[in-house]
Amino acid sequence: MDRTNPPLIDLHEDIGYYIYLGGKHDMEVRREDRHGDIPGYLDANMKIVVGAIFALQRGYTPMGGEVMRRYGEGAGDIYIRPSMPMAAALDVISIYKWLVRRYEEFRLVTGRSDIDGKGIGILMGLEGTEYLDDPGDIYLYKDLGIRLIGLTWNYDTKYAASCMSSKDYGLTGSGEVLLSLAEDEGIVIDLAHSSRKTMLEVLETHSDPVLISHSNYAGLVKHQRNVDDEVLDRLASNGGVIGFTYIRQTIGENPCADALARHIDAVAQRFGDDIVAIGTDLFGCNPPEDLRRIEMITNLYNALEKLGWTRSRIEKLAYKNAERVLRRVLE
């Protein structure tokens, strides 16, 4: 698209984790060696970015390494759980709070009234439930500004089975309690990284629309992180959305904007335009070369135009569908 980019809601970026690990935090500077910064977000016309709270420590354990090797080539085997997950989560939350205080271009999104605010909105979300000792901890995190909870990362938790589970037990009793509290508190539920059974059980019972924030289509690429037709059919009935992601292994053998556009187009053709959104996973993945920075999302829009997508359809993908879910769920 050679016109002004439509507003963008990106349902998943690991900005906080990037800085937590020592990445450059001069976000006012455009740096070609990182995935995004204020100049890039402004060029992309970023309206809201979901800033993930991911704080698993880099390291190695045999079992953790086995899980990550199953993820696919290039995934590595470097992740283990932190010994004090809540403390680690607080470190990442403090980074987002600092960004908002340091840069006037950023603002926190904690309610419906913040959706249309000026500048680049950051909506903080937990990526995984390792950080909750008890379902009631949701109250503490809400007070800190959290407005989204992903039920799992790649490890099983006491709340739900993950996409890497060796025994897909779905949602647990504690998970059901957590979902009920999330509804009461206006917290968005994210099913990315969850197991198939977890997704189906949540979609059967949860009255609020949910997100699958960063995944692609299993109908094109069979991968643990991709979503199949039955889940997508129930997601459409739920009023939720799937955020298509830049994770190379989930796009296919030749990951690029054109290949990702085919995932989006295939899902839209089968389940309608109201289900599609964007969840790049920038700062948390190795994106395709033609999507390596956030403003290069224009390449994805151009690829969709080649498939016959109109401006109005691209606007649904870029922000309107995700915005509908946020307006419905946030208090």
Q: Are 244 and 252 in contact, with CB atoms under 8 Å apart?
A: no
Q: Are 52 and 285 in contact, with CB atoms under 8 Å apart?
A: no
Q: Residue 82's pLDDT is what?
A: 67
Q: Residue 62's pLDDT is what?
A: 65
Running along the chain, 331 residues long, what does each successive block of 10 average in pLDDT?
Answer: 81 97 96 97 98 83 66 61 86 98 98 95 97 97 98 95 95 98 98 98 97 98 97 98 98 98 98 98 97 98 98 98 98 75
Q: Residue 56's pLDDT is what?
A: 80
CA distances from 118 to 15, 94, 105, 109, 243 (A): 20, 22, 8, 11, 23
Chain segment 175-205, per-residue pLDDT in tens: 999 999 999 999 999 999 999 999 999 999 9
Per the listing, tokens 């989930």 go with: 250
pTM across the whole model: 0.95
* Rounded-to-10 torsion of CA 86, 64, 243, 234: -100
Q: Residue 70's pLDDT is what?
A: 67
Sequence-ordered list of residues with C-beta below 8 angstroms from that of 191, at least 6 positions apart, any chain = 150, 151, 198, 199, 202, 203, 210, 211, 212
Q: Residue 57's pLDDT is what?
A: 72
Q: Residue 1's pLDDT is what?
A: 42
Beta strands 46-53 and 211-215: pairing type? Answer: unpaired
Q: Which CATH architecture has domain 8-329?
A: Alpha-Beta Barrel (3.20)
